[in-house]
């Protein structure tokens, strides 16, 4: 079927989602916007949308190749991808290999400490509440996702950690932490949203230079240059 873009369904902080003539498919449009602190800091960067769209496709294809079901169908243009329409769960799955960010603020643990075994955390997707941390009892009681799919989410998230940690290490990068979002597609758990440098942390192995959205969050500059460097090290074409 020839896919046609229709009305806007939803506009998030960095992507706009469009309906299509196929009710089971959506178009993601990666904008040049970068946001932080629940949308209180926003800036546009030329090429950001294109870089994220292509980087996301590169990673999603790697994950599909190891048997993780993902929503990505194909790239449509520089800033657009065609995806399956999932019923998204309002939860974020975070895995941490090195302590930083909210973990250090919440628990007072030392920044940069290796986490072995890695830490897994669930957060509720809710900007007004600043994405509070939740556990499986909350998910069960408030019916945010079926419990068998919650088990599967954890399994996929850890499998993704093993694969991506290695992929990034080969590019001399440490996968510090990352966030994933899942949804249901016709009864199957499927990875949705995106895997980009907006939603993970990557540090250079030797210098521990930050090559992710923390450059924007912390006002370090060189965001696009960092994203391009990561893509180049991985051999991902942008």
Binding site for ligand 5GP (CB under 6 A): 92, 94, 101-103, 131, 177-179, 198-201, 213
Min dist CB 200 to ligand 5GP, Å, is: 5
Our CB check for ligand 5GP shows the closer of 80 and 198 to be: 198
Min dist CB 13 to ligand 5GP, Å, is: 8
Min dist CB 7 to ligand 5GP, Å, is: 25
Pinpoint the alpha helices (H) of 66-107: 101-107
List strands edge to edge, sheet with 133-134: 133-134, 114-124, 91-98, 173-180, 200-204
Q: Which residues pair with 5 in a beta bridge?
A: 20
Our CB check for ligand 5GP shows the closer of 33 and 177 to be: 177
Our CB check for ligand 5GP shows the closer of 85 and 213 to be: 213
Cβ–Cβ < 8 Å for 38, 127: yes
Our CB check for ligand 5GP shows the closer of 33 and 92 to be: 92
Kindly report the number of other CB atoms within 10 A of residue 34's CB atom: 22
Which residue's CB comes closest to ligand 5GP? 101
Our CB check for ligand 5GP shows the closer of 3 and 104 to be: 104
Nearest-angstrom CA–CA distance, 219 and 216: 5
Min dist CB 199 to ligand 5GP, Å, is: 4
Cβ–Cβ < 8 Å for 20, 5: yes
Cβ–Cβ < 8 Å for 121, 96: yes
Min dist CB 156 to ligand 5GP, Å, is: 16
Nearest-angstrom CA–CA distance, 9 and 26: 9
Min dist CB 217 to ligand 5GP, Å, is: 8
**Tally of helices (H runs) and strands (E runs) in the chain:** 6, 15
Our CB check for ligand 5GP shows the closer of 84 and 210 to be: 210
Pinpoint the alpha helices (H) of 78-211: 101-107, 136-141, 147-169
Min dist CB 205 to ligand 5GP, Å, is: 17
Our CB check for ligand 5GP shows the closer of 54 and 96 to be: 96
Cα-flanking dihedrals φ and ψ of residue 23, to 5°?
-65, -15
């Amino acid at each position: 079927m020839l896919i046609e873009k229709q009305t806007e369904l939803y506009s998030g902080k960095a992507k706009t989602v469009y309906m299509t003539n196929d009710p089971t498919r959506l178009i993601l449009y990666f904008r040049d916007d970068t946001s932080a602190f629940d949308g209180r800091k926003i800036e546009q960067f030329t090429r950001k949308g294109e870089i994220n769209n292509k980087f996301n496709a590169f990673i999603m294809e790697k994950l599909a190749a190891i048997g993780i079901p993902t929503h990505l169908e194909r790239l449509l243009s520089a800033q657009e991808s065609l995806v399956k329409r999932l019923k998204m769960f309002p939860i974020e799955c975070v895995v941490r290999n090195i302590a930083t960010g909210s973990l250090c603020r919440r628990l007072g643990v030392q920044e940069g400490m290796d986490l072995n075994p890695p830490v897994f955390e669930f957060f509720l997707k809710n900007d007004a509440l600043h994405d509070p941390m939740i556990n499986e009892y909350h998910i069960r009681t408030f019916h945010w996702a079926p419990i068998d799919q919650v088990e599967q989410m954890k399994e996929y998230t850890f499998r993704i950690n093993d694969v991506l940690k290695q992929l990034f290490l080969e590019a001399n990068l440490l996968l510090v932490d990352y966030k994933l979002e899942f949804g249901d597609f016709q009864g199957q758990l499927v990875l949705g949203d995106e895997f980009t440098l907006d939603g993970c942390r990557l540090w250079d192995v030797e210098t521990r230079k930050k090559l992710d959205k923390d450059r924007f969050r912390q006002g370090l500059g060189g965001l696009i240059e960092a994203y391009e460097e990561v893509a180049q090290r991985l051999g991902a074409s942008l």
